[in-house]
Structure 1
Amino acid sequence: MDSLGRNDEDRLISIITPVYNTEGVLYETATSIFNQTFFNFEWVLVDDGSTAPITRTILKELAEKDNRVKLVTHSVNKGLPAARNTGIRNAVSPFLFFLDADDLIDPVFLEKAFLFLSANQEFSFVNSYVKGFGAKEYLWRGGFHELDVFLKENRNTSCFLARKQVLNEVLFDEDLKEGCEDWDFWLNAASKGFWGFTIPEFLFYYRRSENNKWATLAGQESLAKIEKQLTVKYAAKLANNFPTPKLTSYSLGKVASRTEVPLLQLSKNKRILCVLPWLKIGGIDQFNFNLLHGLKEKGWDITVVTTLQDEHPWHEKFRELTSDIFHLANLGDEFNYLSYLDYLIESRAPALLFLSNAMFVYNALPYLSKKHPYLSIVDYLHCEDVGWKNGGYPFFSAFYSDFITKTFTTSNDLKSLYIELGGAAHKAEVCYINVDTNQIKPNDKIRRERRQVLGVRSDVPLILFVARLTAQKQPHVLVETLAKLRKKNSDFKCLVLGDGPEKDEMLRLIHKHKIKNEVIFTGSLPNEEVLAYMDAADIFFLPSKFEGIALSIFEAMAKGLPIVGAKVGGQAELVSSDCGYLVSPSDPDSEASEYARILAELISEPNKRNQLGENARKIVEGSFELALMVNQMNSSFSNLKRNGEICQSVQYREYEHLLNQMIALEKENIQMKVKVESRLVKTIYRYEKPFQRLKKIYTKFHRVISK
Structure 2
Amino acid sequence: MKFDFDKEPGKKLLDRNLNADDVPLMSIITPFYNKIRYFEQTFNSVMNQTFPWFEWIIVNDGTTNDEEVKKLKEIASRDNRIKLFHQENSGQSSARNHAIRKCSTEIIVPLDADDLIEPTFLEYVFWGLYFNPDASWCYTDSLGFQDDNYEWKKEFSSEEMKTNNILTCTAAIRKKDLLEIGCYDDSEKHYDEDWRLWLMFLSKNKYPVHIAQYGFWYRKTQHGMATQVQKNIELSKKSAKIIKQVADRVRNDIRAKEYPVKNGESFIKPENINWSRKVFKNHNKINVMLLIPWMVMGGADLFNLDIVRKIDKNKFEMSIITTLDSDNSWKQLFQEFTSEIFELSTFLEIENYSKFISYFIKSREIDVIFLSNSYYGYYLVPWLRKEFPNVAIVDYVHMEEWYWRNGGFARTSGALGDIIEKTYTCNEKTRKVIINDFGKNPKTIETLYIGVDKEKYYESVVEENLAKKSLKIEKNRPIILFPCRIHPQKRPFLMLEIAREIRKKLKNIAFIVVGDGPQLEELQQKVSEYNLTNTVYFAGRQNDMRPYYKDSDITLICSLKEGLALTAYESLAMGTPVISSDVGGQSELIDNEVGAILPLLQDESEALDSRKFSSEEVMSYVIAIEEILGNKERYKSMCKLCRDRIEQKFSSDIMIKRIEGEFENIISDEYLEKRQNFSKLLKQISFFVDDYMTIFLEYENSEYNCEEIWKSKMWFENLYNDICCGFGQNGVYESKISADGNSLEIQRRLDEIYNMRTWKLIEKYRRFMDNTIIGKCIRKIFNFIGLG
- TM (normalized to structure 1)? 0.90
Q: What pairs with 1:426-441 in structure 2 (closer than 5 Å)?
A: 426-441=443-458
1:464 to 460, 463, 481: 481
* Counterpart residue number, 1:98: 110
Cα deviation digits, residues 646-672 of structure 1 (max 9, x gap): 659896577445524531343134313
Change (3 A) 1:163 1:262: farther
* Counterpart residue number, 2:586: 571
Is the Cα–Cα contact under 8 Å of residues 144 and 195 in structure 1 kept in the other structure? no
* Counterpart residue number, 1:191: 203
Q: Separation in 1 of the partners of 2:139 and 2:62? A: 28
SS in 2 for 1:517: coil
User: Is 1:484 the equivalent of 2:496?
Assistant: no
User: Is 1:666 the equivalent of 2:682?
Assistant: no
Is the Cα–Cα contact under 8 Å of residues 306 and 326 in structure 1 kept in the other structure? yes
The code of the aligned residue for 2:173 comes to A
Displacement of 1:391 after TM fit? Answer: 0.7
* Counterpart residue number, 1:18: 31
SS in 2 for 1:447: coil
Is the Cα–Cα contact under 8 Å of residues 28 and 111 in structure 2 kept in the other structure? yes
User: Is 1:69 the equivalent of 2:95?
Assistant: no
Change (3 A) 1:326 1:594: same
1:626 to 652, 655, 679: 652
**Worse overlay, 331-340 or 259-268:** 259-268
Displacement of 1:484 after TM fit? Answer: 1.8
* Counterpart residue number, 2:763: none
Q: What pairs with 1:67-216 in structure 2 (closer than 5 Å)?
A: 67-74=80-87, 76-134=88-146, 136-142=147-153, 145-170=156-181, 171-212=183-224
Displacement of 1:254 after TM fit? Answer: 7.1
* Counterpart residue number, 1:600: 626
* Counterpart residue number, 1:704: none
User: Is 1:636 the equivalent of 2:662?
Assistant: yes
**Worse overlay, 218-227 or 375-384:** 218-227
Displacement of 1:262 after TM fit? Answer: 6.4
* Counterpart residue number, 2:527: 510
Change (3 A) 1:173 1:349: same
Displacement of 1:474 after TM fit? Answer: 0.7
2:574 to 559, 567, 571: 559
Displacement of 1:197 after TM fit? Answer: 2.7
Q: Separation in 2 of the partners of 1:571 and 1:425? A: 22
SS in 2 for 1:318: helix
Is the Cα–Cα contact under 8 Å of residues 433 and 629 in structure 1 kept in the other structure? yes
Q: Separation in 2 of the partners of 1:289 and 1:686? A: 48
* Counterpart residue number, 1:703: none
User: Is 1:244 the equivalent of 2:256?
Assistant: yes
* Counterpart residue number, 2:279: 265
Q: Separation in 1 of the partners of 2:355 and 2:434? A: 30
* Counterpart residue number, 2:516: 499
* Counterpart residue number, 1:38: 51
Give the root-mean-square deviation of aligned CA atoms. Answer: 3.0
**Worse overlay, 662-671 or 315-324:** 662-671
In the alignment, structure 1 segments of 5+ residues that lack a partner are: 698-707
Change (3 A) 1:361 1:630: same
Q: Separation in 2 of the partners of 1:313 and 1:253? A: 32
Q: Separation in 2 of the partners of 1:132 and 1:217? A: 18
* Counterpart residue number, 2:406: 390
Cα deviation digits, residues 227-258 of structure 1 (max 9, x gap): 64256324443352224347798423678999
Displacement of 1:195 after TM fit? Answer: 2.3
* Counterpart residue number, 2:548: 533
* Counterpart residue number, 1:589: 614
Change (3 A) 1:233 1:431: same
* Counterpart residue number, 1:54: 67
**Worse overlay, 349-358 or 57-66:** 57-66
Change (3 A) 1:326 1:572: same
The code of the aligned residue for 1:574 comes to L
SS in 2 for 1:347: helix
Cα deviation digits, residues 371-405 of structure 1 (max 9, x gap): 11111111111111231111101111111122111
* Counterpart residue number, 1:705: none
The code of the aligned residue for 1:589 comes to S
Q: Separation in 1 of the partners of 2:229 and 2:245? A: 24
Q: Separation in 1 of the partners of 2:572 and 2:18? A: 52
Q: Separation in 1 of the partners of 2:293 and 2:576? A: 31
The code of the aligned residue for 2:198 comes to W
Cα deviation digits, residues 452-508 of structure 1 (max 9, x gap): 333222321011010011111111111111112223353201110000111122112
SS in 1 for 2:30: strand
User: Is 1:425 the equivalent of 2:459?
Assistant: no
Q: What pairs with 1:272-351 in structure 2 (closer than 5 Å)?
A: 272-296=288-312, 299-351=315-367
SS in 2 for 1:390: coil
Is the Cα–Cα contact under 8 Å of residues 271 and 354 in structure 2 kept in the other structure? no
SS in 2 for 1:304: strand
Cα deviation digits, residues 136-181 of structure 1 (max 9, x gap): 1413324562443222221222111111111121211112311300
SS in 2 for 1:494: strand
Displacement of 1:264 after TM fit? Answer: 4.0
The code of the aligned residue for 1:419 comes to I
Is the Cα–Cα contact under 8 Å of residues 13 and 96 in structure 1 kept in the other structure? yes
Displacement of 1:684 after TM fit? Answer: 8.0
Q: Separation in 2 of the partners of 1:375 and 1:444? A: 43
Q: Separation in 2 of the partners of 1:256 and 1:145? A: 30
**Worse overlay, 375-384 or 142-151:** 142-151
Is the Cα–Cα contact under 8 Å of residues 270 and 354 in structure 2 kept in the other structure? no
Change (3 A) 1:659 1:256: closer
**Worse overlay, 208-217 or 501-510:** 208-217
Q: Separation in 2 of the partners of 1:445 and 1:224? A: 55
Is the Cα–Cα contact under 8 Å of residues 265 and 351 in structure 2 kept in the other structure? no
Q: Separation in 2 of the partners of 1:395 and 1:218? A: 60
* Counterpart residue number, 1:361: 377
Cα deviation digits, residues 317-351 of structure 1 (max 9, x gap): 11111111111111121111111111111111122
The code of the aligned residue for 2:58 comes to L
Q: Separation in 1 of the partners of 2:189 and 2:725? A: 68
SS in 2 for 1:384: coil
The code of the aligned residue for 1:274 comes to L
Is the Cα–Cα contact under 8 Å of residues 191 and 229 in structure 2 kept in the other structure? no
Is the Cα–Cα contact under 8 Å of residues 560 and 613 in structure 1 kept in the other structure? yes
Displacement of 1:21 after TM fit? Answer: 3.8
Is the Cα–Cα contact under 8 Å of residues 572 and 646 in structure 2 kept in the other structure? yes
Is the Cα–Cα contact under 8 Å of residues 409 and 432 in structure 1 kept in the other structure? yes
Q: Separation in 1 of the partners of 2:340 and 2:535? A: 46
- TM (normalized to structure 2)? 0.81
Change (3 A) 1:549 1:355: same
The code of the aligned residue for 2:103 comes to A
The code of the aligned residue for 1:233 comes to Q
Cα deviation digits, residues 568-597 of structure 1 (max 9, x gap): 111111101111111111142342232123
